[in-house]
Chain A
C-alpha cells in the first residue's frame, strides 16, 4: 500500500520538476549576462542583476506592447461581459417567442473556429475601416467570446429564484433596476468565471493581432515578443528577461486565483 502511494507521489514529483524547471531556468537566466548563459546554460546567477530587465523596459517597446495588451484585453472582456449579461438576462428571465432559436444562435458560435473565417473577416474589417485598429481586434474578440459568456451566464441566471424579482417589481422597481440592483449582484461568481474564461485566451492570443494589426504602436505582447526575438536573437539574457516579464502578470494572477482559473478554463469543456 505505502509502496504504491510512493510510486504515485514520485510521478507527481517528477511532473512538478518538469513543469517548473523550464520556468525556473527562464527566471534565473533573465538575471544573467550573455557570457554567463553561454558558459553554462544551467548555472545560477552570480549576482542579483536586473540589467536585462532594465534593458527590456527602457530600450524596447515592451511597455507599449504591455499597455496594448491591457487595453485590448480589458476592453474586450468588459464588452463581452456587458453584452453577454444583457443577452443572457433576456434569455434567462423573460419568456418570449423565438427565445429557443435566439439561444441556439448564440450557442452555435461555440463550435465555430473563427480562425478559419479569417479571410472574410479580414475583408469585412477592411470594408469597415477597422483593419489595423484596436477596435477592430476588440470586436473580433467580443464576437468570439460572446457564445461562451451567454452560455455560462444564461445557465446561471436561470437558477436564480423568481421571488426576489417579483417582490422588487411589486415595490415599483422598473425592469432595469431589477436587473442591475437585484439580479446581477447575485450573478458575480458566474461573471468571474466568464471573465477569466475569455481574458486568458485573449491576453495570450497571437493569431488575430498578427493578421489584423500591422502598426508597431498597436501590437500586443505575444506579437511584440516575436519581434523582440528577431531583434535580440543573440542577446539571450534580454530574451529570457522579456519572456519572464511577459509570463509574470498572468502567472501571478493565476497563483492568486488558481481555483477560479481552473474552474473558468475547464468549465466550458466539462458542462
Chain B
C-alpha cells in the first residue's frame, strides 16, 4: 500500500468536526426529528394495527373533537387536565413560594430543610403513586389512621369520584413541590440583599415583601415555573396510571388526556384494540395546545420581567 499524501489541514479539521457531530446528529435525526414529523403525518392517516392504510384528511381530528364516542372522553379529560393545572398552580407553587421565602431567611437548619424538601423530587412517580395509594387506603392506610387520631372520619379517597382527582393532585404536590421551591429560592437569592434590607428598614412586613417586592423581582422564575407546571399537567400520566388505573376510575373521574391517549393508541378494555390514527390525532392536539399556550404564556410572562 502506498503512503497517501496527508490531507490539507483545513479538510482534516473539517472531517474531525464532522466526526464529532455525526453520532449525536444521527441519533437525534432518527429518534427525534423523524418521529416528531411522523407524528403530524400519522394524525391524518388510518391504520390497520401498526401499518398505515391510507390518508383520511381531518377525519381523525374531527372524531376526537366532535364525534361520539371519542369527543365526550376528550373534553372530559381536557377538563380534568385544566383542574390539575389550576390546583397545582395554586397549591403546589403557592406553597413552594412560601417555602422558598422561609429557606431564604437562613434559619437554623435551613440546609437540611432544603435537602428534605427536594427529596421526593428524585423519586420515581411510580414509587410515589404506589406509596400514596397504600397510604390513602380507606381501611389500612396511614392517612385515615392519622385523621382518626384527631377525630376526623376519613374517606375512601381514591374510590370516591369527588375526592379521587384531588387526592392524586395532592400526591403530585407532595412529589414535586420541592422543584418550584428551589427555583424560587435561587431567584430570591439573586435579589441584592440591600434591596430587601432597605425595604425592611422602611417597615415592610413579610407579607409586603413577598407580595410587592420579591414577587416582581422573581418574575423570570415564575415564568419558568408556570410553563413547566403547564407542560407537566398536560403530560400527566404516571400518577393517575398507578393510583386509579388506566381507565381513570372511579367512572372516569380521574381520566386525563395522557391516559386517554395511551388507551386510544395502544388499546385497553374500554377502547378496544390499538388505534394509531385517533391516538395520533390526540397527540397532535396535545402537542399543539402545549406549544401554543406555552408560547403565549412565555410572551405574556416575559413582558412583566424586569432587568435587575
Contact = CB atoms under 8 A, between A and B. Distances in A.
Nearest to B121: A265
Contacts of B98: 11
Contacts of B23: 82-83, 86-87
A144 B28 CA distance: 8
B292 interface: no
A250 B120 CA distance: 11
B131 A124 contact: no
Contacts of A229: 130, 242
A243 B127 contact: yes
B191 interface: no
A90 interface: yes
Given A22-B174, A139-B27, A38 B140 contact: yes
B35 A19 contact: no
Interface in A1-52: 4-5, 8-9, 11-12, 15-16, 18-20, 22-23, 25-26, 37-38, 40-42
A266 interface: yes
Interface stretch (B11-19, B67-75, B160-168): B11-19
Given A20-B116, A240-B134, A105 B28 contact: yes
Interface string A40-83: 11100000000000000000000000000000000000000011
A156 interface: no
Is the interface on chain B under 10, 10 to 19, 20 to 34, or 35 or more residues? 35 or more
Contact of A270 (B186, B242, B261): B186
B206 A4 contact: yes
Contacts of A82: 23
Chain A interface helix/strand/loop/mixed? helix
B130 A119 contact: no
A229 B131 CA distance: 11
B262 to A, nearest CB: 8
A222 B186 contact: no
B140 A119 contact: no
Nearest to B178: A19
Nearest to B295: A111
A113 B35 CA distance: 11
B64 interface: no
Interface string A76-116: 00000011101101110010100000100110010111111
Interface in A211-269: 211, 221-223, 225-226, 229, 236, 239-240, 243, 246-247, 250-251, 254-255, 258, 261-262, 265-266, 269
Contacts of B99: 11-12, 15
Given A87-B21, A118-B283, A123-B50, A146 B134 contact: no
Contact of B115 (A236, A240, A258): A258
B141 interface: yes
Contacts of B90: none
Interface residues of A, number: 89
B134 A251 contact: no
Interface stretch (B36-44, B77-85, B247-255): B36-44
13 contacts: A5-B105, A12-B102, A120-B37, A120-B42, A124-B31, A139-B27, A139-B30, A146-B24, A150-B24, A204-B126, A247-B124, A250-B123, A269-B224
A-B interface, 3 closest residue pairs, ranked by CB to CB distance from nearest: A120-B38, A143-B31, A204-B124
Interface of B: 13-14, 16-17, 19-21, 23-25, 27-28, 30-32, 34-39, 41-42, 50, 95, 98-99, 101-103, 105, 107-110, 113-127, 130-132, 134-135, 139-142, 145-146, 174, 178-179, 182-183, 186-187, 206, 221, 224, 228, 231, 235, 237-238, 241-242, 261, 265-266, 276, 279-280, 283-284, 286-287, 290-291
Interface of A: 4-5, 8-9, 11-12, 15-16, 18-20, 22-23, 25-26, 37-38, 40-42, 82-84, 86-87, 89-91, 94, 96, 102, 105-106, 109, 111-124, 126, 139-140, 142-144, 146-147, 150, 175-176, 200, 203-207, 211, 221-223, 225-226, 229, 236, 239-240, 243, 246-247, 250-251, 254-255, 258, 261-262, 265-266, 269-270
